[in-house]
Amino acid sequence: MHAFDVLGDPVRRRVLEVLATGERSSGDVVAVISEEFGITQPAVSQHLKVLRDNGFATVRPEGNRRIYAVDPSGPAVAEDWLAGLRGFWSQRLDALGTELARGRRDRSNAPDIASRGNQE
């Protein structure tokens, strides 16, 4: 699954926001997500599994609990993909800036048509 397929789901994005505040037990995550989205514990568990399987979350056992945290490698994949586009847009925006500056310069060097009309 592509990073943006993972991030495309609002529930998974919210789970990541919850985990971004620090490690949380699966029960804590379920409580927050169930209340906000009205989904069941098994549904939240499926979202946690997708995040885990795609490198966005880690899990470690602590007694009979499972503790989840954000895995930085998942968001890094999305950032790397966006970085490839950033170069494309930077070039385009630089070219636009050059054209805008050229247009301002051309307008400031052009004779003032209104003042020429008054001189005739």
Q: What average pLDDT does range 70-88 have in this prediction?
A: 82
The domain 3-72 having CATH identifier 3.80.10.10: the answer here is: no
Residue type, 90: S
Which residues, other chains included, contact 48 with Cβ-Cβ below 8 Å and sequence gap of 6+?
15, 26, 29, 57, 59, 68
- For residues 52-80, average pLDDT: 92
Per-domain residue ranges of the chain: 3-72, 74-110
Which pLDDT score, from 0 to 100, does residue 70 have?
A: 96
Please state the pTM of the whole predicted model: 0.68
